[in-house]
Structure 1
Amino acid sequence: MKKIVLVITILCFGFIGFSQNSNSAKALLDEVAAKVESYNNIYIEFNHKLDNVDADVHQETKGNVTLQGDLYHLNYMGTEQIFDGKKVYLIIHEDEEVIIQNPSDNEEETLTPSKMFSFYKNGYNYEMGELKNVKGIKIQYVNLSPIDSNSEILSIQVGVDVKTKHIYNIIETGENGTITTLNVTSFKTNQTISSKIFSFDKAKYQDQKKYTISETN
């Protein structure tokens, strides 16, 4: 009987410890999200890496994005992507083409600008990860695992700068072995920007540049 009580006690304390760890992990991400929401706008420069050892795929690209609430203007891989609150405008300069589409509701698109600071809120379990010293900066990692067992995402690590409470990087591991890493290299807030940065000038691309414009539903 004493052994049974001991086992139950250990299990209970283990569950409590896991629950506290989970709550602490989510609380940290909530703090990051709340801080982001307090800024008028954010300008981020980043490195985006994609690695798959088995497929011998290794890609690294730089980019930048300006965010204001849900609105964003992204420059990445020679293309621009603008979200004005209603439509997403993908401007492909190499092909002289513009694709207009509705924003995606896919919960697994974790690295899209509008979801970068909020994707964790639904569909994930939380666990506090390692505290690392990266180039003299203390980075606290939070480990996320999808609740959906059929998810193509195996795990996500969110690195948070302990001092600034800003995201340092996001590391996503796919079920196929692909590791996608977004490293933030510059993080500026409350910049002086024009509201036009989140608008698409159709006349500029259709009449002046003669780009092909198509719209999908």
Structure 2
Amino acid sequence: MKKLFTILTIFFISVNVSVAQDAKKLLDEVTNKVKTYKNVQIDFRLTIQNLNKEINQESKGNVTIEGDKYALNMMGITKLFDGKKIYVIDPEEEEVTISSPSGQDADFTPAKMLTFFNSGFKYTWDITQNVKGRSIQYVKLTPTNAKDYRKEVLIGIDNQTKNIYNLIEVGKDGTKTTIIVNSFKTNQPISKNEFTFDASKYANYYINKLD
């Protein structure tokens, strides 16, 4: 489950140098666009496939992001970050795990998933697809760190809005993870308590404080 959130935080050298520069320029446009948003709300579909391991999973989720704070809902689990603590709420287990961000949770958050591609990759201009009338330009990212678990990442970018449409991650173990953005809304009115954990709602839950 943590890997799924890592993958959300959890949602992106050509031989021809000019092509690589075009790819980086497009990614920079995405980054600059994201910086103008006060908040972002995304509904998405996630699929994970690995034929060798007989894995074929599909789920839906949504995330609200404002600065470094976020509220992520996926597979029945809610993950909140209020800027200081992370709260993972599991209704099935009736458990809330509270911790300070560290390791992967500190390095990879939903807020950073919109700009994670700014460093650590080589860039290659890939195909352009027409998806329901939308022009989607793909950029292929190859990790520069040989220890990275990813073989490559494809980011599909809407040429008109400069927002991310989808992300396809291929792991070295053959696992293919695809995130498709169904809805991308910005600067929405959100509750002041959107990222606040209300303990009174979980009086019967086991509270697991890790630090």
Which category of TM-score, normalised to the shorter sequence, fits these structures?
0.7 to 0.9
Residues 20-43 of structure 1, C-alpha deviations (whole Å, 9 max, x = no match): 222211111111121112111111
- The answer (yes or no) to whether the contact 1:81–1:89 under 8 Å persists in 2 is yes
Q: Classify 1:155/1:104 alpha carbon distance in 2 versus 1 (closer, same or farther; 3 Å).
A: farther
Structure 2 counterparts to residues 141-152 of structure 1, below 5 A: 141-152=138-149
- The answer (yes or no) to whether the contact 2:14–2:123 under 8 Å persists in 1 is no
Secondary structure of residue in 1 paired with 2:154: strand
Structure 2 counterparts to residues 118-133 of structure 1, below 5 A: 118-133=115-130
Q: Give the alignment's TM-score, normalised by structure 1.
A: 0.85
Secondary structure of residue in 1 paired with 2:173: coil
What is the aligned partner in structure 2 of residue 36 from structure 1? 34
Distance across 2 between alignment mates of 1:183 and 1:133: 15
Distance across 1 between alignment mates of 2:14 and 2:151: 25
- The answer (yes or no) to whether the contact 2:129–2:135 under 8 Å persists in 1 is yes
What is the aligned partner in structure 2 of residue 174 from structure 1? 171
Please state how far the C-alpha of 1:171 moved relative to its aligned partner: 0.4
Residues 152-191 of structure 1, C-alpha deviations (whole Å, 9 max, x = no match): 1100000000011110001000000000000000111111
Please state how far the C-alpha of 1:136 moved relative to its aligned partner: 1.7
What is the aligned partner in structure 2 of residue 165 from structure 1? 162
Q: Which of 162, 187, 211 is 2:205 aligned to? A: 211
Secondary structure of residue in 2 paired with 1:20: helix
Which letter maps to 1:214?
Answer: N
Q: Classify 1:81/1:126 alpha carbon distance in 2 versus 1 (closer, same or farther; 3 Å).
A: same
Distance across 2 between alignment mates of 1:39 and 1:114: 11
Please state how far the C-alpha of 1:17 moved relative to its aligned partner: 6.3
Ranges in structure 2 where 5+ consecutive residues have no aligned partner: 1-12
What is the aligned partner in structure 1 of residue 9 from structure 2? none
What is the aligned partner in structure 1 of residue 111 from structure 2? 114
Which 10-residue stretch deviates more, 150-159 or 98-107? 98-107
Secondary structure of residue in 2 paired with 1:180: strand
Structure 2 counterparts to residues 1-217 of structure 1, below 5 A: 18-106=16-104, 112-205=109-202, 209-217=203-211
Q: Give the alignment's TM-score, normalised by structure 2.
A: 0.88
- The answer (yes or no) to whether the contact 1:155–1:174 under 8 Å persists in 2 is yes
Ranges in structure 1 where 5+ consecutive residues have no aligned partner: 1-14
Please state how far the C-alpha of 1:203 moved relative to its aligned partner: 3.4
For the pair shown, the structure with the greater C-alpha radius of gyration is 1
CA RMSD of superposed structures (Å): 2.0
Please state how far the C-alpha of 1:52 moved relative to its aligned partner: 0.5
- Count of aligned positions: 199
Which letter maps to 1:71?
Answer: K
Of all paired residues, the percent bearing the same amino acid is 45
Secondary structure of residue in 2 paired with 1:23: helix
Which letter maps to 1:210?
Answer: N
Q: Classify 1:118/1:105 alpha carbon distance in 2 versus 1 (closer, same or farther; 3 Å).
A: farther
Q: Classify 1:162/1:175 alpha carbon distance in 2 versus 1 (closer, same or farther; 3 Å).
A: same
Report 1 or 2 for greater relative contact order, CA contacts < 8 Å, sequence distance ≥ 6.
2
Distance across 2 between alignment mates of 1:193 and 1:25: 34
Secondary structure of residue in 1 paired with 2:193: helix
Distance across 1 between alignment mates of 2:47 and 2:163: 20
Secondary structure of residue in 1 paired with 2:20: helix
